[in-house]
Amino acid sequence: MSGPASIGVDAGSTTFKAVLVDREGRILASFLEPADPRLEEQAARALDALQAPPGTPVGATGYGRRRIHAARTLTEITCHARGAFSRTGEPGILVDVGGQDTKVVRVGPGGAVLDFSMNDKCAAGTGRFLEVILARLRIPKEEIARYAARSTRPVPVTSTCTVFAESEVVSLVARGEAVEDIVKGLHAALASRVASLVGQVPPGSRVFMSGGVALNPAMVEALSKELSVPVSVVPDPQLVGALGAALSALS
């Protein structure tokens, strides 16, 4: 294994991620924290934690990328595509459901971005949708998938707007619907919203998922069902953007 070659930082709106990679793009160390408004301090903390040799080139992405002292800054679209391709080695459709936006990137050979669409004007269709409503139901993050798995009769949640869905869920609870069934219904609602951004999946195309929401198996399952194609999770889904940034700093 070759030594440390570059650092990638993904200063996202909800979490801050950083990775140290070798020449082949293998992740040697990683760092992940909730986003801190004192971004410069957080970046310094990350560099310390990664124990990178001084002078290691840095690539940055994410909403806060311009505040990172980096040799190369690129958008998450490009970085997610590169990061995902380096882990999967395959072109396809990459769905990144992030905390505040959802991106669908058509990744071509070599990890090039062929096309992308984004949902970033409202919280519907983003990780925030689940977060807000599940907090309302007092379900901790780690429990979400277990709840969904227990559902026997998912309740349809018709509002895709986060604010309206929240009040809809309140009335479903009041009506005595089982929390498990509501949780499953919420996943289906989010998946249908994300699927509309994906559009038609051409036959033979692979669909990959990255971002923190990909760690929730219930969401992966709901999206597979909605798209009628299997959805594969990119390994270390939360680090994909940071990995892409590190790869850009390498080249």
Partner 1 sequence: MILRKLQYKAISCLGPGLLSVASRIGKRPGRGSAQGAAHPFGPPLESGRKLREIMSLHYLSGRYADGAVPVAWVTSGFPVEPLRALGFHAVYPENHAAVCSVKRLVPELSAAVERLGYSRELCGYARADLGCAVTGTTPVGRLPRPDLLCCCTNICQTVLYWFRALADRFRVPLAVVDAPFVYGEAKAGHLEYFADQLRGLAETAGGIAGRATDRGALLETVRLSREGSLLWAECLAAGRAVPSPWTGFDAFFHMAPIVALRGTKECNGYYRMLRDELNDRISRGVGGIGNERFRLLWDNLPVWHRLRPLSAVLAENGFNIVCSTYAAAWAEAGAAIDPADPEGSMARAYLNVLLNRDLPYRLSFMKRLCAESGSTGAILHSDRSCKPYSIGQVDLQRRLVSEAGVRTLLLEADHADPRSWSEEQAGHRLAAFMESFE
Which residues are near partner 1 by CB under 8 A? 63, 74-78, 112-118, 120-121
Smallest gap from residue 115 Cβ to partner 1 (A): 6
CB of 44 or CB of 112, closer to partner 1: 112
Quick one: 64 or 185, whose CB is closer to partner 1?
Answer: 64
Q: For the CB of residue 203, give the shortest distance to partner 1 in the complex, in Å.
A: 14
User: How far apart are CB 119 and partner 1 at their closest, in Å?
Assistant: 10
CA distances from 153 to 79, 178, 179 (A): 39, 9, 11
Complex with partner 1: residue 65 or 87, whichever CB lies closer: 65
The amino acid at residue 40 is E
CB of 160 vs partner 1, minimal distance in Å: 18
* Sign, Cα dihedral of 145, 31, 64, 90: negative
CA 55 – CA 111 distance, rounded (Å)? 27
Query: 25 or 62: whose CB is closer to partner 1?
Result: 62
The position carrying tokens 């709901």 is: 222
Q: In a 3-state reduction of DSSP, which class is residue 250?
A: helix
Q: Three-state DSSP class for 157?
A: coil
Residue 114 or 170: the one with the smaller Cβ distance to partner 1 is 114
Cβ partners under 8 Å of residue 86, min gap 6 = 25, 111, 243, 244, 247
Q: Minimum distance from CB of 45 to partner 1 (Å)?
A: 25
Q: How far apart are the two ends of the chain, measured CA to CA in Å?
A: 19
Question: Residue 91 Cβ, how far from partner 1 at the closest point, in Å?
Answer: 14
Of 152 and 200, CB closest to partner 1: 200
Residue nearer to partner 1 on the CB measure, 154 or 244: 244
Considering the complex, what minimum distance in angstroms separates the CB of residue 74 from partner 1?
6
Distance from C-alpha of 221 to C-alpha of 226, rounded to nearest angstrom: 9
Burial 68-83 (b: 16+ CB within 10 A, else e): bebebbbbbbbbbbbb
Please state, in angstroms and rounded to a whole number, the distance separating the CA atoms of residues 133 and 123.
Answer: 12
